[in-house]
Structure 1
């Protein structure tokens, strides 16, 4: 970028960045809480200011031009800096303190929350954080937690929910298990293997049978209600289990089973109560979680 960047309107840059990352004007508009025509005008204004075409329409989709791809790297740096500045200002200048409770599944709490909590501690060192690792849905309205990370959208009208991303999962097993029992090549082959269950075998069957896996309760000889324990059983060669790809990527000695299989997608919702509008500490943690979980999807 040249000296022109010093006079760019940040709203126009942010509109371009959101459109590039979400792949459409409509999705970007939802992300920024704007109308699609407003966002389109902002992107067009940036193109006019720079004198280059950033997107071109291919069929019904937008595709970035070479100029857009070159600009994207720079705007991501700008966007990260802006997010860090806003969060740092909120966390430090307003002396955030007190206690906040975050609830998420045991697997999410153990594997994916710690990096976010390190950053939160740096922004608000006086804040006390309680992580409630629970696979059951906690009742936000009854203040069993301040913020919840869920995989379904809550229906209560008094809650604030933000869809931060669509996560993906595949089937995984340890290299030791696959070496001993063979690597399945088709869905039909999966019926000859052991699986590790999270919860009851019937719960797992209710989830897996629609995916086309020819399984019955006999395929689940071992399992646990605790997701961390179940994942450890997979690591110890007990069988195959479905797991979020980002968790599997953090685990050594694990291989994806049926790598050609389409991923299983599931939403990640961030949920809190309406105190978000008045509590600085809840706003800080909510925004940080939304930013961090959104970035991890990229």
Structure 2
């Protein structure tokens, strides 16, 4: 097996293109880099680098060795992150990205409880309809309404959010479905599953208004503007609203909790994940 220090010096040559550049990057002298490179070539019994007058160029086999070494380096860094996470105290900032409806109407209501349980963890809630990248550290933990496919991350289904049609209790046309008017999203949300579901129910009946977020739909329905498709945990909790429509096709969204594998065992991140799971599983408005 090749000596790791020799490989590390070789990678520096491959990245910088010269022995002197590698030496500066590693904060060693030129001779050390040259010696380490020669030692690696002797170990492997292959020529890895063409030494040109002003630069170094990887040979064909050198490029293959370089690519494998980079993969080894990445794996070693991952081991270090996992070890660090295991010893990280229950302190620091954790960013949780979640759909706006869950941030505004569920998570934000329990921030005081979280703070009481974990006074040294600062929970930063990001209400984001779009997906974020955990690998680029755009968030530490994410809640998504579709099954995540990002590589390098751990995902777990934590519940299901059912939807229903809701209208104000004294909505003028509540007992006349053929005269219903609907509260929908604008055209930029045409591909959103709940928009397709709602418009499929509406059919030829008119859309009374369009709003870009679910909180606006709730307020408009409460004001009597029309019939809205709302998460049941939201509509059922509002005393001014009631569920309408007996033959409405069922619709729901899965709730997935996602974290990068390297952060999964970090104490502060684990605390946030456990708190989210407890909220959703214990809340009466969600199913398994």
- Classify the TM-score, shorter chain: 0.5 to 0.7
> Alignment partner for residue 215 of structure 1, among 191, 203, 208?
203
The aligned residue for residue 164 of structure 1 is 158
The aligned residue for residue 63 of structure 2 is none
The aligned residue for residue 227 of structure 1 is 214
Cα shift at 1:138: 2.1
Unaligned segments of structure 1, at least 5 residues: 1-93
Unaligned segments of structure 2, at least 5 residues: 1-87
The aligned residue for residue 175 of structure 2 is 183
Query: Which sits farther off after the overlay, 257-266 or 121-130?
Result: 257-266
| Residue pairs, 1:89-128, within 5 angstroms | 96-128=90-122
Cα distance change, pair 294–257 in 1 and its aligned pair in 2 (3 A): same
Q: CA RMSD in A?
A: 2.4
Cα shift at 1:150: 1.0
The aligned residue for residue 152 of structure 1 is 146
SS of match in other structure, 2:108: helix
Cα shift at 1:139: 2.2
SS of match in other structure, 2:258: strand
Cα distance change, pair 294–205 in 1 and its aligned pair in 2 (3 A): closer
CA distance in 1, matches of 2:135, 2:183: 34
> Alignment partner for residue 239 of structure 2, among 248, 252, 266?
252
Does 1:206 pair with 2:196?
yes
Question: Is the Cα–Cα contact under 8 Å of residues 116 and 289 in structure 1 kept in the other structure?
Answer: no
| Residue pairs, 1:252-291, within 5 angstroms | 252-259=239-246, 261=248, 263-291=250-278
The normalised TM-score by structure 1 is: 0.59
Cα shift at 1:154: 0.8
Cα displacement string for residues 226-261 of structure 1 (whole angstroms, at most 9, x for unaligned residues): 221222111111111111111112212001011464
Cα distance change, pair 224–124 in 1 and its aligned pair in 2 (3 A): same
Cα shift at 1:115: 4.1
Cα shift at 1:207: 3.0
Cα shift at 1:280: 1.1
Cα distance change, pair 139–131 in 1 and its aligned pair in 2 (3 A): same
Cα shift at 1:271: 1.0
CA distance in 2, matches of 1:205, 1:227: 11
